[in-house]
Chain A
Amino acid sequence: MNKDKHKKYYQSLTRNMILTAIIVSFTPMLLVICILLQQFRVSYHEKTYAHLSELVQKHKQNIDSFLNEKLANIRFLAVNNSLETLNDNEFLQEKLSTLRRDYGNVFVDLGIVDEKGVQLAYAGPYGLENAEYSDADWFKKARRIDSFISDVFLGLRGYPHFIVAVKKNEAGRDFLVRATIDFMAFNSLVQNLRVGKTGYAFILNREGAFQTNPAMEYQPSHRGYEFFWTAVEKTKNKILITRWQDDVGMENLYAVGSLKDGQWLLIVKQLTADAFSDLKRMFNIAVIIFLIGGLGIVVMAFYTSRRMVRRIRRADQDKENMNEQIIETGKMASIGELAAGIAHEINNPVAIMVEEAGWIGDLLEEEEFAQGENLEEFNRALKQINTQGKRCKEITHKLLSFARKTDATLKDVQLNDIVTEIVSLSAQMAKYNKVSIETQLQKTLPYITISPSEMQQVLLNLINNALDAMEKTGGTIQVSTKISEVEAEHIVIIVEDDGPGIPEANLLRIFDPFFTTKPVGKGTGLGLSICYGIINKMGGKIDVHSTIGKGTRFRIWIPIQK
Chain B
Amino acid sequence: MTTPYIMLVDDEVPFVETMSKRLVKRGLKVIAADSGNDALVKLDQDSKVDVIILDVKMPGMDGIETLQEIKKRHPIKEVIMLTGHATVETAIEGMKLGAFDYLMKPCDLDILMSKVQEAFKKKHEHESKIDKARIDKLVLTRGY
A114 CA / B91 CA spacing, docked (Å): 152
A contact residues around B91 at 8 Å (CB)? 425
CA separation between A351 and B91, bound complex, in Å?
19
Asked whether B12 is an interface residue with its Cβ less than 8 Å from the other chain, the reply is yes
- Which of these, B14, B21, B86, B92, contacts A352 with CB under 8 Å? B14
With A348-B12, A457-B88 known as contacts, the answer to whether A355 contacts B104 (CB < 8 A) is no
Q: CB distance B88 to A347 under 8 Å?
A: no
A354 vs B106: C-alpha distance when bound (angstroms)? 7
CB of A453 within 8 A of chain B? yes
A350→B89 CA distance, assembly (Å): 24
Q: Are B25 and A362 neighbours in the complex by a CB distance under 8 Å?
A: yes
Instruction: Give A460 to B92 CA distance when docked, in angstroms.
Output: 13
In the bound complex, residues from chain B placing their C-beta under 8 Å from that of A348 are 12, 15, 84, 105
Of A350, A359, A422, which is within 8 A of B21 by CB? A359
Complex Cα distance, B21 from A352, in Å, reads 13
Indicate if the CB atoms of A344 and B15 lie closer than 8 Å.
no
| B18 interface hit (Cβ, 8 Å) | yes
Q: Is the CB of A343 within 8 A of B85?
A: yes
A456 and B88 contact, CB distance less than 8 A = yes
Given A359-B22, A362-B25, A396-B85 contact (CB < 8 Å): yes
- Chain B residues lying within 8 Å of A393, measured Cβ to Cβ, are 104-106
> For the complex, is B87 an interface residue (Cβ under 8 Å from A)?
yes
State in angstroms the CA–CA spacing of A456 and B92 once bound together: 10
Q: How does the 8 Å CB contact mask read for A419-442 relative to B, with 1 for contact and 0 for none? A: 001100100000000000000000
A404 interfacial contact with B, CB 8 Å: yes
Residues of chain A lying within 8 A (CB to CB) of residue B97: none
Contact (Cβ within 8 A) B86 A397: yes
Known: A347-B105, A348-B105, A355-B106. Contact between A407 and B21, CB under 8 A? Answer: no
Q: How many A-B residue pairs have CB under 8 A?
A: 66
What chain B residues lie within 8 Å of A456 (beta carbons)?
A: 88-89, 92
CB pair B106–A389 under 8 Å, yes or no, is yes
Residues 89-101 of B, flagged 1 when their CB comes within 8 A of A and 0 if not, give 1011000000000
Which residues of B in the span 1-15 have a Cβ within 8 Å of any Cβ on A? 12, 14-15
Q: Restricting to A386-411, which residues have a CB under 8 Å from any CB of B?
A: 389-390, 393, 396-397, 400-401, 404, 407
A389 (CB) vs chain B CBs: closest residue: B106
What residues make up the interface of A, taking CB atoms closer than 8 Å to B? 343-344, 347-348, 350-352, 354-356, 358-359, 362, 389-390, 393, 396-397, 400-401, 404, 407, 421-422, 425, 453, 456-457, 460
The answer to whether A397 touches B22 (Cβ under 8 A) is no
Closest A residue to B14 by beta carbon equals A352
Cβ distance B36 to chain A, nearest Cβ, rounded Å: 17
Return chain B residues, CB-CB under 8 Å to A356.
14, 18
Contact A362:B15 (CB < 8 A) given known A347-B84, A396-B85: no
A389 to B22, CA, bound (A): 17
Which B residues are CB-close (under 8 A) to A355? 15, 18-19, 22, 106
What's the minimum C-beta distance from A370 to chain B, rounded to whole angstroms? 15
Q: Is the CB of B88 within 8 A of A460?
A: yes
B99 to chain A, nearest CB (A): 13
Q: In the assembled complex, which residues on chain B have CB atoms less than 8 Å from the CB atom of A396?
A: 85
Q: Which residues of B contact A404 (CB under 8 A)?
A: 87
Contacts of B87 in A (CB 8 A): 400-401, 404
Interface presence of B61 (CB below 8 A): no
**A457: which B residues are within 8 A, CB to CB?**
88
B101 nearest in chain A by CB position: A428
* Nearest-CB residue, chain A, relative to B109: A358
Query: Can you report 23 A-B residue pairs in the complex whose CB atoms are below 8 A from each other?
Result: A343-B85, A344-B84, A348-B15, A348-B84, A348-B105, A351-B15, A351-B84, A352-B12, A355-B19, A355-B106, A358-B22, A358-B109, A359-B18, A362-B22, A362-B25, A397-B85, A397-B104, A400-B85, A401-B85, A401-B87, A425-B88, A456-B88, A456-B89
Instruction: Given A352-B15, A359-B21, A362-B22, answer yes or no on A390-B85 (Cβ-Cβ < 8 Å).
Output: no
Please measure, in the bound complex, the distance between the C-alpha atom of A106 and the C-alpha atom of B122, giving whole angstroms: 149
